[in-house]
Structure 1
Amino acid sequence: METHGSQLLGASSYKDPITSFPLFHKFSVYWSLVLKELSISFVQPPNCILDTSSDPSKHGGTWLPGSVLNIADCCLQPSSFPNKQDDSVAIVWRDEGFDDSEVNHITLKQLRQQVMLVANAIDANFSKGDAIAIDMQMTVNAVIIYLAIVLAGCVVVSIADSFAPKEIATRLRVSNAKGIFTQDFISRGGKKFPLYSKVIEAAACKVIVLPVIGNDVGVQLREHDISWNSFLSSGKQHRSHHYSPFYQSIDSVTNILFSSGTTGDPKAIPWTQLSPIRSAADGWASIDIQPGDVYCWPTNLGWVMGPTLIYSCFLSGATIALYHGSPLGHGFGKFVQDAGVTMLGTVPSLVKAWKSTKCMEGLDWTKIKTFCSTGETSNVDDDLWLSSKSYYKPIIECCGGTELASCYIMGSLLQPQAFGAFSTPSMTAGLVILDENGVAYPDDVPCVGEVGLFPVYMGATDRLLNADHEEVYFKGMPLYNGKILRRHGDIIKRTVGGHLVVQGRADDTMNLGGIKTSSVEIERVCDRADECISETAAISVSPANRGPEQLVIFVVLKNGYNSDAETLKKKFSKAIQTNLNPLFKISIVKIVPMFPRTASNKILRRVLRDQMKHELSVHSRL
């Protein structure tokens, strides 16, 4: 199999150079196999794998047209392909602070019964098609609620538990959510942090509140809100424990996720029932997720990795491992050991913290056969340390997007891997690297440029709820082999050896701790942090030896005002954590007399970024 650029299964031009099979025949062969291996069960099977004639406005064609299913039901039912049985362990978990207790577990049959119980309660409180938000930690109950919402024919609205009230309110408004599941508190690092109080500041709709500890909610609820126990009781009164899934067409929306744009509201990205299939397929093909694997990835349902983890495990027959607490300490590492985790997902900043604090010393992680990493640029030294924890097992790098429901480039166990790099486009995905004039470099040439994705991409969005999909992803993109390329926004480098390295974003979107945000969002908050500020410019830079992006704020002061960088850093940090996200950390504040600008007066953040990279490079050599 070729590994350079677009020369992968279904990703070269519209004839295969080896077999001469048409592109769509290869798609049919591959995806037919995947549907079987992932135990996808249709109530009404598709007419074909891909139809490119029915709707010319869809650049990637119509996938699995005519099919009807419920993707949550596929997750919950036993299947011989894969070997997923009622007594298979579906989830293992442990609560923080109980490091010496036995690991808890729930079987597939028990999980199905719990999901049906919650689905009955959803029917008693909501209507089919309602959008229902989840803003809570990634716990067993969160997974049950997620599957129950989809099983009941409603739509999950994904909200991260770290968001400030304003960000929660925006997502509830854009999605028109009719209700929201949350917790009274967040338990992390041995401390409790308020969550319900943040949610009710943002939400006028009904809130269903789960206790973080014990059976009783630890806060006073509003009159129209309801406790978890009362909510479940409403389902028991409504119907029996059995539940009949709500079957829908393949293109029905099941989940609304969000990705920051460069201005205004975050993009509301709808996942249809195609999206989980794509997510699970990438894990099956590149990471080799199989029945019997125990897959752990500290994440949240507010981010794409939350739903991806659920579907990757349950459609492949693997077990999800969940730690109810902070992944930063020894307790998490001991859970990985005790749960027998075979696949561990990370973000680079998490690995850096483990390495620097030495909190994972003395643990046995040798059951891990594969590490995965996404969200940020990896640091080679940190990767080497991580790999050494399990006899130098491979680290599979993953890079994609919420709107793709997948990774467009990945590592692969079938190819030699390099730390911090990708070895191939994902299966049936195609890409080219464009020069400054929008012309594609040859597939075997080392180069750097903006990536352009082939539009025939199974699982990628064909709509946005609050933006023009055509304008966001296709307007202004060049033609390649007669098709308009899909915009993704990454700058990538192809090395002499054919590996791919992500160099950053083509626009002013930045990636902070695995969370994409924009310069404009950061600047809007910082501009109001102190009266001395005339203007700010936010950029992110990666260290010289790679690693997570660092947030840098440039400041121009008003005439006649004085301040210092350290004072402003504290004020900016407080403003960002209050109004945007408490996980965003400022590395550097730099006061400058003016900003470089274009002829139309736009700030040249690219110039500021280059200047800071140069300063950091010089500093690292001293």
Structure 2
Amino acid sequence: MELWRPEKHHLEESNVAKYITSHGIKGLDDFLSLTFDKPEEFWRSFEKEVLKLGWYEEYIKVLDLSKGVQWPRWFVGGKINIADQLEDSSRPLVKWEGEDGSTAVWSYSEVLYKAKAVASWLKRNGLEKGDRVAIFMPMVPEIIPVMLGAIRAGGVIVPLFSGFGKEAIRVRLEDSEAKFVFASDISYRRGKEIDMLSELRAGLTPSVKRVVVQERSGRSSGYTPLSEVFKTGGDHVERADAEDPIMIIYTSGTTGKPKGTVHTHDGFPVKAAADVYFHFDVSEGETLSWVTDMGWMMGPWMVFAAYLLRGSMAFFEGAPDYPKDRLWRFVERFKVNALGLAATLTRYLRSIGAAAEPGQLDSLKAFGNTGEPIDVESWLWLYRMGRGRIPIINYSGGTEISGGILGCYVVRPIKPSSFNGPSIGTKAAVFTEDGRPAPPGVEGELVVLSVWPGMTRGFWRDPQRYLETYWNKWPGVWAHGDAAVVDEEGFFYILGRADDTIKVAGKRLGPAEIETVLNAHPAVAESACIGVPHEIKGEVPVCFVVLKPGYEPSEALRRELIKLTEEALGKAFGAVEDIRFVKMLPKTRNAKIMRRVIRAVYLGRNPGDLSALENPEAIEEIKRAL
């Protein structure tokens, strides 16, 4: 089996290696123990030595657990504004590319000036500390000073996915009671102009008092132009308590309204920066990029981490495969050091043969994978494209975590599709249904046995739902909802969501186990497996398969794929009940497959919240396949 193995410079010069050496720590395991067993010691040192935050008033205590592990308070007594940490320098902060090939590079000073203007305009127009400021913009440079300016003013940002329709916008504006909205009138994707303003207008709620619009179309929106806000100047900044909220970011649930996860000045940004520093080895002056949208956590995660580590962020508007080799040209153009993408996007690029040309990845120090498990074939594709030099940092956590529960470190070998350790501050384990650690090789649920600054401070105005979601399964244990397994050597593997897990004759089977087998077939671009009721076995797997160009659905191919799963997983346990061929799978803009939607359509049920769905036409594809 191919492994990624650290080279001498990883073992001596990486951020994690230097931290271990400078603190007299024996090795990686002891370092990880420090981050979750001695959180006060570790987070103080990281904040002082790496982030060097500018506090208005110093905190008196790093951690207060007087309200229980469910409600920790961090950096107690500290006064800060996390958006008031931008240096005034010509160093590049934002590197951007439009879908038409246009570019922009904004310095720290330019972003700072615009952020100050946004903060001062908000203050003059009635923003009070804690007011919510919704942001409905695509991945354009202007979104960065808008975000930081709203936080600088004492506001709580509510990032909205740029592909949302009116109902998804309305639900989030209504729930957050947003007072201000910053928006773009249009966005661009695959050469098309997308009307965002009409969706916003239809979704506005009575709580919204002022709307600011980036008028990209050249037409007047009837609202305050963002360009005018940027020209107003000012220097306002609001002093805040470390635990004051800065962001409500919504996650979609299987049922019910979306969950508004609440994050603070001393929480999400600090955890994001720690993860980027220690997992992805990004240092001062280096460039971080993630294929994402600001409405998903990886967008703000990239922003906070990049500027707190005094680096650059690189992002683009539009589709990563428009044109086919766009992503790799982008990496080369902006000398990206760490590039993150979802496993589904990797599989898709592999299926269309969109590999990087020699030299395009010379700047790259790490690939990142997040969103869902990466199959072995796609992992190996990245590994070989990087000629074994570039580590693939598998990274899994969530919006409620502010980053990772599991990750990889460049001082230890990395097996295909694996995580080689818990993430910073998160004491990860896998529990069986009886609440005990699962033996090696036995599937269970991923849990966290520690506290960390990035923990959500509950769901917006719904603390009971937060407790029920994460804390009610086992006392004092964060149950994350991911199905996982640990092997004999301590490597973790995510098998999918626990609620996606298929129980065949009482035995648990993660969809990723079947999908990995199917995706390895030369005809298969990607697949998604769900569990459907069976009168004898309880559940059986049914899989939906997208074929690569040049391959056509056939009964012979269907039987061949079913036989492949039987041979790989055993006929009684791993046999797929049925395979249906489709042209696409329902996905979020982050390219995460929405298996719960597939299952609901298959069973004729209400698929629940579809606001995160990028391609609604995929639902019709599933229906046609049935």
TM-score by length of 1: 0.74
Aligned residues of 1:189 and 1:325 also touching (Cα < 8 A): yes
| Structure 1 equivalent of residue 571 of structure 2 | none
Residue 350 (str. 1) matches residue 345 (str. 2): yes
**Range that drifts further, 415-424 or 125-134:** 125-134
1:455 CA drift (Å): 3.9
Say which SS state the counterpart of residue 71 (structure 1) adopts.
Answer: coil
| Structure 2 equivalent of residue 115 of structure 1 | 115
1:145 CA drift (Å): 0.7
Residue 384 (str. 1) matches residue 387 (str. 2): no
Q: 1:426 to 1:546 in 2, by over 3 A?
A: farther
How do 1:206-221 residues align onto structure 2 when only pairs under 5 Å count?
A: 206-212=210-216, 216=218, 218=219, 221=221
Distance in 2 between residues matched to 1:505 and 1:591, nearest whole Å: 15
1:92 to 92, 95, 112: 95
Residue 545 (str. 1) matches residue 517 (str. 2): yes
Aligned residues of 2:263 and 2:456 also touching (Cα < 8 A): yes
Aligned residues of 1:187 and 1:212 also touching (Cα < 8 A): no
Distance in 1 between residues matched to 2:438 and 2:604, nearest whole Å: 34
Say which SS state the counterpart of residue 313 (structure 2) adopts.
Answer: strand
| Structure 2 equivalent of residue 68 of structure 1 | 79
Q: 1:61 to 1:361 in 2, by over 3 A?
A: closer
1:345 CA drift (Å): 0.9
Residue 303 (str. 1) matches residue 296 (str. 2): yes
| Structure 2 equivalent of residue 56 of structure 1 | 67
Q: 1:354 to 1:212 in 2, by over 3 A?
A: farther
Residue 77 (str. 1) matches residue 90 (str. 2): no
Q: 1:473 to 1:388 in 2, by over 3 A?
A: same
Distance in 2 between residues matched to 1:590 and 1:446, nearest whole Å: 27
How do 1:478-497 residues align onto structure 2 when only pairs under 5 Å count?
A: 478=475, 484-497=476-489
Q: 1:271 to 1:61 in 2, by over 3 A?
A: closer
How do 1:461-480 residues align onto structure 2 when only pairs under 5 Å count?
A: 461-467=456-462, 468=464, 469-478=466-475
| Structure 2 equivalent of residue 439 of structure 1 | 436
| Structure 1 equivalent of residue 310 of structure 2 | 317
What do the CA deviations read for 1:88-133 (whole angstroms, capped 9, x no partner)?
A: 11111222222xx6x5312211221121122222223341222111
Unaligned segments of structure 1, at least 5 residues: 13-22, 79-85, 479-483, 511-538, 557-564, 597-622
| Structure 2 equivalent of residue 199 of structure 1 | 200
1:449 to 444, 451, 462: 444
What do the CA deviations read for 1:23-66 (whole angstroms, capped 9, x no partner)?
A: 44x631453234431131111111122233xx334546321100
Distance in 1 between residues matched to 2:387 and 2:113, nearest whole Å: 39
Q: 1:424 to 1:34 in 2, by over 3 A?
A: farther
| Structure 1 equivalent of residue 410 of structure 2 | 413
| Structure 1 equivalent of residue 175 of structure 2 | 174
What do the CA deviations read for 1:484-512 (whole angstroms, capped 9, x no partner)?
A: 111211111101222100112223599xx
1:281 counterpart letter in structure 2: A
Distance in 1 between residues matched to 2:448 and 2:295, nearest whole Å: 25
**Range that drifts further, 422-431 or 201-210:** 201-210
What do the CA deviations read for 1:543-571 (whole angstroms, capped 9, x no partner)?
A: 13387772769799xxxxxxxx99xxx9x
| Structure 1 equivalent of residue 565 of structure 2 | none
2:491 to 492, 499, 504: 499
What do the CA deviations read for 1:12-31 (whole angstroms, capped 9, x no partner)?
A: 7xxxxxxxxxx44x631453
1:356 CA drift (Å): 2.2
Aligned residues of 1:138 and 1:301 also touching (Cα < 8 A): yes
Aligned residues of 2:187 and 2:194 also touching (Cα < 8 A): yes
Residue 267 (str. 1) matches residue 259 (str. 2): yes
Distance in 1 between residues matched to 2:370 and 2:424, nearest whole Å: 18
1:165 CA drift (Å): 1.7
1:160 CA drift (Å): 0.5
Distance in 1 between residues matched to 2:478 and 2:176, nearest whole Å: 25
Say which SS state the counterpart of residue 72 (structure 1) adopts.
Answer: coil
2:136 counterpart letter in structure 1: D
1:151 CA drift (Å): 0.7
1:32 to 45, 54, 57: 45
2:193 counterpart letter in structure 1: K
1:313 counterpart letter in structure 2: A
Say which SS state the counterpart of residue 83 (structure 2) adopts.
Answer: helix
Aligned residues of 2:287 and 2:311 also touching (Cα < 8 A): yes
Aligned residues of 2:273 and 2:305 also touching (Cα < 8 A): yes
1:340 to 328, 335, 343: 335
1:268 CA drift (Å): 0.7
1:590 CA drift (Å): 9.2
Distance in 2 between residues matched to 1:50 and 1:323, nearest whole Å: 38
**Range that drifts further, 546-555 or 374-383:** 546-555
Aligned residues of 1:553 and 1:590 also touching (Cα < 8 A): yes
Distance in 2 between residues matched to 1:586 and 1:283, nearest whole Å: 27
| Structure 1 equivalent of residue 12 of structure 2 | none
Distance in 1 between residues matched to 2:459 and 2:341, nearest whole Å: 29
Q: 1:271 to 1:123 in 2, by over 3 A?
A: same
Distance in 1 between residues matched to 2:447 and 2:602, nearest whole Å: 38
1:252 CA drift (Å): 0.5
Q: 1:544 to 1:508 in 2, by over 3 A?
A: closer
1:300 counterpart letter in structure 2: D
Distance in 2 between residues matched to 1:154 and 1:116, nearest whole Å: 13
Distance in 1 between residues matched to 2:594 and 2:369, nearest whole Å: 23
Say which SS state the counterpart of residue 544 (structure 1) adopts.
Answer: helix
TM-score by length of 2: 0.74
1:229 to 227, 230, 246: 227
| Structure 2 equivalent of residue 602 of structure 1 | none
| Structure 2 equivalent of residue 460 of structure 1 | 455
Aligned residues of 2:35 and 2:43 also touching (Cα < 8 A): no
What do the CA deviations read for 1:496-544 (whole angstroms, capped 9, x no partner)?
A: 222100112223599xxxxxxxxxxxxxxxxxxxxxxxxxxxx976613
1:369 CA drift (Å): 1.2
Distance in 2 between residues matched to 1:545 and 1:447, nearest whole Å: 19
Distance in 2 between residues matched to 1:332 and 1:107, nearest whole Å: 23
Distance in 1 between residues matched to 2:34 and 2:424, nearest whole Å: 8
Q: 1:454 to 1:107 in 2, by over 3 A?
A: same
1:311 counterpart letter in structure 2: F
| Structure 1 equivalent of residue 369 of structure 2 | 373
Say which SS state the counterpart of residue 394 (structure 2) adopts.
Answer: strand
Say which SS state the counterpart of residue 484 (structure 2) adopts.
Answer: strand
C-alpha root-mean-square deviation of aligned residues, in Å?
Answer: 3.6
Aligned residues of 1:97 and 1:331 also touching (Cα < 8 A): no
% identical aligned pairs? 23
Distance in 2 between residues matched to 1:499 and 1:431, nearest whole Å: 11
| Structure 2 equivalent of residue 154 of structure 1 | 155
Aligned residues of 2:448 and 2:478 also touching (Cα < 8 A): yes
Aligned residues of 2:376 and 2:516 also touching (Cα < 8 A): no
Say which SS state the counterpart of residue 161 (structure 1) adopts.
Answer: coil
Aligned residues of 1:289 and 1:312 also touching (Cα < 8 A): no
Residue-pair matches, total = 511
What do the CA deviations read for 1:216-237 (whole angstroms, capped 9, x no partner)?
A: 3x3x635xx333234445xx2x
Q: 1:549 to 1:257 in 2, by over 3 A?
A: farther
| Structure 1 equivalent of residue 32 of structure 2 | 8
Q: 1:71 to 1:377 in 2, by over 3 A?
A: same
Distance in 1 between residues matched to 2:533 and 2:69, nearest whole Å: 44
1:8 counterpart letter in structure 2: L
| Structure 2 equivalent of residue 131 of structure 1 | 132
What do the CA deviations read for 1:436-460 (whole angstroms, capped 9, x no partner)?
A: 2112246xx4432112211422221
1:136 CA drift (Å): 1.5
Say which SS state the counterpart of residue 73 (structure 1) adopts.
Answer: coil
Say which SS state the counterpart of residue 310 (structure 2) adopts.
Answer: coil
2:60 to 41, 47, 58: 47
What do the CA deviations read for 1:143-182 (whole angstroms, capped 9, x no partner)?
A: 1111111111111001101222211111111111112222
Say which SS state the counterpart of residue 92 (structure 1) adopts.
Answer: strand
Q: 1:7 to 1:486 in 2, by over 3 A?
A: farther
